[in-house]
Structure 1
Amino acid sequence: MAGRGSFGMAALLLGLALLLLAPLHRHYPRCRVASVAATAPAAPAAPAEPAAPAAPAIPRNLTIAIFGGSTTACGGASSRDNCWTYVFGRALEALTNSSVTLINRARGGTEADYFSSCFPRYLSGPKPDLFLLEFAINGGNVTRLVESIYRHTDIPVALVRQMACFPASRYAAGDPTARVSWPEQREEQRTAGYVYRLHEFDLVNELVPYYGSPCSRESLPKLFETRIAPGQHLGDLGHRLLGEFVARELVRNWGAINNASRRAGAPAGSTERESCFYADEGGSSANSIETAFAPEGEGWAFVEKVPGRKDKICWQSAVPGSRLVSVAPVNFDRSTMYLEYSNRPAKLRVSCGPNAAPGGSETFSEITALHGMNGTMVKSASLNGQCHGQRLTVEALDAAPDRLARVCGISMFASG
């Protein structure tokens, strides 16, 4: 009995062990327990986003219009072939196997504002595939120029930001305060690039890894012209590096520059009506600044910027108190006048109203400005006020042979 009881107990223990260990074996049939959480239905597929329009390929015949100041007019280069614009054209042809036509609208010592006046005058002839703007030194309201371009055309715009180290003598001497003369005008381009989502080719960012500070005593003589106004213009090496850099980056960024969505968030252009008189080789002579004014008495003459050249560009006076009076009444709610300054500019008074009876005119501006560089420079001056049905008068208050007064253009905007 005792043996039989021991055997039964052993069998019972063995059975319990099998019950406990069997579920761990890989062949044990497991229970399939339904999940209490229902499977979420698959979300419907989102509608496909419309594909962005493909960026155009670089044309086989490429036309590029360039606006800028003296560097783009080849200042500092030893010859036209060494100028950055022509280096750029040759490099672009080599990179793209395209035939490149350049329309160079550069004008030395001229701010961006001047080119924004009556912009359609630049649209005669071949239609450009791209506008390049270079005003990193002369500055001016680059944003207004871009607005003028987009008011009249859908041609894309890109910015070229070059540099200057003026006055170079302070940089070369290691003057710690020299950095204050770094051109703040570059910021005008930065603003335009931000507002209109424009692509920028920045030479400084390109050169610093290889040359360090372009204005150091080691780099300046390599990159800049040093015989006349050292540091004001790029030299042959600087021109070559700029031209090749812009060509290379233009090819690399052609799709982005021509992407229409870049313009989607840009502000709309002004709806004001523009009328203007300009001093330039392009456009109808009916809008020439020469036809806008008639000198009252003696003292004003329409002159050549450079003696011996055919392009007469500005009204000029060396006679104190002489007045330049518009031929016809003018109408504007806001206006800008373009005045050429030398190192000793005359003081001008600009007014609207009758040309007789002292005190009968409204004075808009009394203007005196120094541009701080050698030679002359066309600068803009806002005329703060309205003029409707009255003549415009510019009086040279203290003009003299070494203090010339020059009026080179006027741009007028009226609402409606």
Structure 2
Amino acid sequence: MTDTPPSPILPRLTDRLRRGQGVRVTLFGSSTTEGIGASSPEHGFAPVFERALAPFVPGGLTVINRGIGGNGAQEMHDRLPAVLADGADLVMWQTGSNDPWQGVKLDDYVAMTRRDLLATRATGADLALIDPQYCRMLEECAAFPPFVPAVHAIGAELNIPVFGRYARMKSWCAELGLSREDLSPDGLHMGDMGYRLLGQAVAAWLVELTGAPAGAFVHGG
């Protein structure tokens, strides 16, 4: 009797990569997705991510940046029709950083985010989440702590993989001898170094989740 292979975590993306087809990725979120804090646009998260992932997509990679700084769950909900119209194979959903500042109740944040994720999944797109950043201003926000586990709880409930940016940023500080300010110079937004580490790490994470040939991954300087 032959064991049945496990279903892919990102089935649409995995299938398209295996077939050598083109891939459309929508990056949906707030200031990190927009790239606020980078010294120039090419050093922001989206361009770094695109350059890192492109070698694994021989059929061609299209990355649509739908990041607007300051957006929380309500603003992202209001912009959801544009995201659905993208017809993306994968929607990377960066979330949970601005709602604590806006005074949004955790339950309301979870309910709205959950509904919008389900609406996006209904289009046939794969989904992946990116949790909040590790930075001084969020650490000083009394309402912030439960939002990181809330993002992971949504992911677990809906079977959506979550890139743990908060934990990764802490580990980069420990492993590379960095401070929070090295990654987020203004205390909130990531700078060039933070975006470089994040963009490459998210691309490598997707490669791992889809089983693409990891030996082809090139770490930028």
Give the TM bin, normalised by the shorter chain: 0.7 to 0.9
Give the 3 Å change call, closer, same or farther, for CA 160–243 of structure 1 in structure 2. Answer: same
Normalised to the residue count of structure 2, the TM-score between the two structures is 0.73
Shift of 1:165: 1.9
Whether 1:70 and 2:38 are equivalent positions in the alignment is: no
Residue 220 of structure 1 corresponds to which residue in structure 2? Answer: 180
Shift of 1:97: 4.1
Whether 1:82 and 2:50 are equivalent positions in the alignment is: no
Residue 196 of structure 1 corresponds to which residue in structure 2? Answer: 158
SS in 2 for 1:232: coil
SS in 2 for 1:163: coil
Residue 167 of structure 1 corresponds to which residue in structure 2? Answer: 137
8 Å CA contact 1:137–1:183 kept in 2: the answer is no
Residue 342 of structure 1 corresponds to which residue in structure 2? Answer: none
8 Å CA contact 2:16–2:22 kept in 1: the answer is no
Give the 3 Å change call, closer, same or farther, for CA 51–72 of structure 1 in structure 2. Answer: closer
SS in 2 for 1:88: helix
Within the candidate set 146, 149, 158, 2:128 is matched to: 158
Shift of 1:206: 2.8
Distance 2:169 2:137 in 1: 20
Whether 1:137 and 2:97 are equivalent positions in the alignment is: yes
SS in 2 for 1:212: helix
Q: C-alpha offsets along residues 66-98 of structure 1, whole Å, 9 cap, x if unaligned? A: 110112111111111010111000110134445
Give the 3 Å change call, closer, same or farther, for CA 252–220 of structure 1 in structure 2. Answer: same
Within the candidate set 230, 239, 260, 2:195 is matched to: 239
Within the candidate set 184, 187, 201, 2:149 is matched to: 187
Instruction: Give unpaired runs (5+ residues) of structure 1.
Output: 1-46, 172-177, 256-416
Q: C-alpha offsets along residues 199-248 of structure 1, whole Å, 9 cap, x if unaligned? A: 1111233343442299x9x51231112xxxx2111111001110000001
Query: Which structure: larger Rg?
Result: 1
Shift of 1:121: 4.1
Distance 2:25 2:128 in 1: 11
Distance 2:91 2:61 in 1: 13
SS in 1 for 2:85: coil
Distance 1:49 1:249 in 2: 26
Whether 1:115 and 2:76 are equivalent positions in the alignment is: yes
- Equivalent position amino acid for 2:126 in 1: P
Distance 2:137 2:96 in 1: 16
* Structure with the higher fraction of residues in strand conformation: 1
8 Å CA contact 2:26–2:88 kept in 1: the answer is yes
Distance 1:244 1:98 in 2: 20
Distance 1:52 1:135 in 2: 28
SS in 1 for 2:34: coil
Within the candidate set 149, 156, 163, 2:120 is matched to: 149
Count residues in correspondence. Answer: 194
8 Å CA contact 1:60–1:98 kept in 2: the answer is yes
Give the 3 Å change call, closer, same or farther, for CA 95–112 of structure 1 in structure 2. Answer: same
Distance 1:165 1:51 in 2: 40
8 Å CA contact 1:68–1:107 kept in 2: the answer is yes
* Structure with the higher fraction of residues in helix conformation: 2
Instruction: Give unpaired runs (5+ residues) of structure 2.
Output: 100-108, 212-221
Distance 1:162 1:237 in 2: 17
Give the 3 Å change call, closer, same or farther, for CA 222–181 of structure 1 in structure 2. Answer: farther
Residue 205 of structure 1 corresponds to which residue in structure 2? Answer: 167
Shift of 1:49: 6.6
Q: Larger relative contact order (C-alpha < 8 A, sep ≥ 6)?
A: 2
SS in 1 for 2:48: helix
8 Å CA contact 1:143–1:188 kept in 2: the answer is no
Q: What is the percentage of aligned positions where both structures have the same residue?
A: 26
Shift of 1:106: 1.4
